[in-house]
Amino acid sequence: MDIQAYIQSGIVESYVLGLANAEEIAEIEQLRLEYPEVNQAILDFELSLEKQAMDNAVSPLAGVREKLFDRLSSEFEAEAPVVPINEEITATPVIPIQPQTSRSWKWVAAAAIILLAGSIWMNIYYYGRYQKTASDYQALVTERNSLQANTDLYQTKLREMDSSLLLMQNPVMAVIKMPGVPGKEGNTATVYWNTQTKDVYLLAAKLPTPETGKQYQLWAIVDGKPVDAGMMGNCNGLCKMKNIPHAQAFAITLEKEGGSPSPTLSALYVMGKI
């Protein structure tokens, strides 16, 4: 297994953010035990999330803590016990213990409340940051997949174009240019006919985009009669057509999708003699 490719696939981020499925979780937990680099990648991403959250932390409004302490202090003073003053002086003054103990516990409770409030606020804040990070990460994954799909499509087109170029440069290819017929002079197409194998390839240099339900059909004129040479599809370069052993000319008509047994002469676009 290519561990670096596995780490860069996005599975580590999905695992940490809780987006991985059960199978992916089981797999990565097994791999992090076998491969230290997988475990390190998980730890690094967790640290990066924590750093991002701390860098973007928002402090509570100024004065919140002071107001809370003032409020609690006022309540404690209002509840402080009043010790009556006796006219008689006693030899041994008695110091009340219970009120002091009660007041100490109230300060402890106040501190606990402050810590609890801060903890709740931090949990809400970090959960919000987590949701945003997860959403941003999912958007990046979608964008990356889209870019990868486009890249694969472009590479496929380039390979097809390279293959077409090699075919066109082959010296055994006969090149039959088909200019537009009267009234459609702006249209052009070219047939590349292998004189050895008799394979036929079509390059539609300039033909209008067919309307819905229509498709271009290539015809070989054999002994004065049209012979179906195939339908033109969506080709990135040369379209492979039917094998034609011999012909005197080629022509293209616009027919219903799927083809016609005979050409529609009113829909003739280009034609060229061999």
Mean pLDDT for all residues in the chain: 78
Least confident window among 59-73, 81-95, 121-135, 138-152: 81-95
Q: Is residue 69 part of a domain?
A: no
DSSP character string of 162-217: HHHHHHHH-TTEEEEEEEBPTT-TT-EEEEEEETTT--EEEEEEE-PPPPTTEEEE
Q: Is residue 122 part of a domain?
A: no
Q: Is residue 68 part of a domain?
A: no
The answer on pLDDT for 160 being more than 80 is no
Predicted pLDDT at 95: 47
Q: Residues 61-116: pLDDT tens digits? A: 555 556 655 665 665 555 545 545 454 444 455 445 444 444 555 566 666 666 77
Q: Is residue 246 part of a domain?
A: yes
Separation between Cα atoms, residue 233 and residue 228, nearest integer Å? 15
Q: Is residue 166 part of a domain?
A: no
Task: Give the contacts of 179 (CB within 8 A, at least 6 positions apart).
Answer: 185, 187, 188, 270, 271, 272
Q: Residues 212-253: pLDDT tens digits? A: 999 999 999 999 999 999 999 877 678 899 999 999 999 999
Predicted pLDDT at 221: 96
Verdict on whether the full-model pTM lies above 0.75:
no
Q: Is residue 26 part of a domain?
A: yes
Q: What's the domain count of the chain?
A: 2
- Which residue, 32, 55, 78, sits at the end of a domain? 55
Sign of the CA dihedral running 216, 197, 171, 273: negative
Q: Residues 165-177: pLDDT tens digits? A: 677 778 898 999 9
Predicted pLDDT at 192: 93
Range of the domain at 24: 3-55
**Is the Cβ–Cβ distance between 178 and 189 less than 8 Å?**
yes
Q: Is residue 136 part of a domain?
A: no
Q: Is residue 159 part of a domain?
A: no
